[in-house]
Amino acid sequence: MPTTKYVAHRGFSMRAPENTTAAFELAGRSGFWGIECDTYCTTDGHWIVHHDRTVDRMTNGSGKAKDHTFEEIRNLQIVAGHGIEAYSGLKIPTLEEVLYICKSYNMHAFIEIEEYHRDTDLNRLVRLVDECGMRGQSSFICFNADDLRKVRAIDNEVPLGFLSAKPPSPEDIELAKRLMPMFLDYDYKVMTPDAVRACREAGIEVSLWTINQREESLRFLDAGVDYITTDTLLTEE
């Protein structure tokens, strides 16, 4: 039976604005095994950490995240999120900033690939992990299987995770086996304990998102789920 590892969803996003350095620092201080973050590449090739396709909800700006230059992104202010009143001067962080926080707290990084402009951007993304000293403590996750195949062609060792909001399928298992090391990362609402057990019996690790209630997590813990992504501290309840 594996020991389930807890991953802070966009940092400790129930207590600090999501995907900010404050949220990732708080996750580290709170003892999370890892964090999940969402990444976009700017028009001039910088990888930033932000969830939405646009910057409208979280910042004082507007427009698609990937269609800004890095300078434009850095001029924006974070103006929303849990606990925003306790934080001033927050900006959209670079992936490097987030990885250095992970390194300082010995946390693993689940790096979700959102949008980018060209395949060379993916090469830069993979190199960043090495440059930040986070090889062995980072995984790339994505809903797009083709992007995961591209990352595997760049690096044959970095762990990958296939995100899905659909129940597990034989095709998921086959994809994971072809791209090993790789885990399957599901919306917990489409999963059952038996489905977790079936994936693990096939030799595939399983991650679930986003579980915020202790009672919801227990049945999956008993099934041997490997990772749980959460907005809060499930172990406190």
Q: Which residues are catalytic?
A: 9, 51
Q: How far is CA 141 from CA 11, 146, 176, in A?
A: 16, 12, 12
Q: Is 58 helix (H, G, I), strand (E, B) or coil?
A: coil
Q: Which residues of 62-98 are buried (b: 16+ CB within 10 A; e: fewer)?
A: eeebbebebeebeebebeebbbbeebeebbbbbbbbb
DSSP run (H or E) holding 128: helix 119-131
Structure tokens at 73: 């992104």
d(CA 72, CA 67): 10
Structure tokens at 74: 């850095």
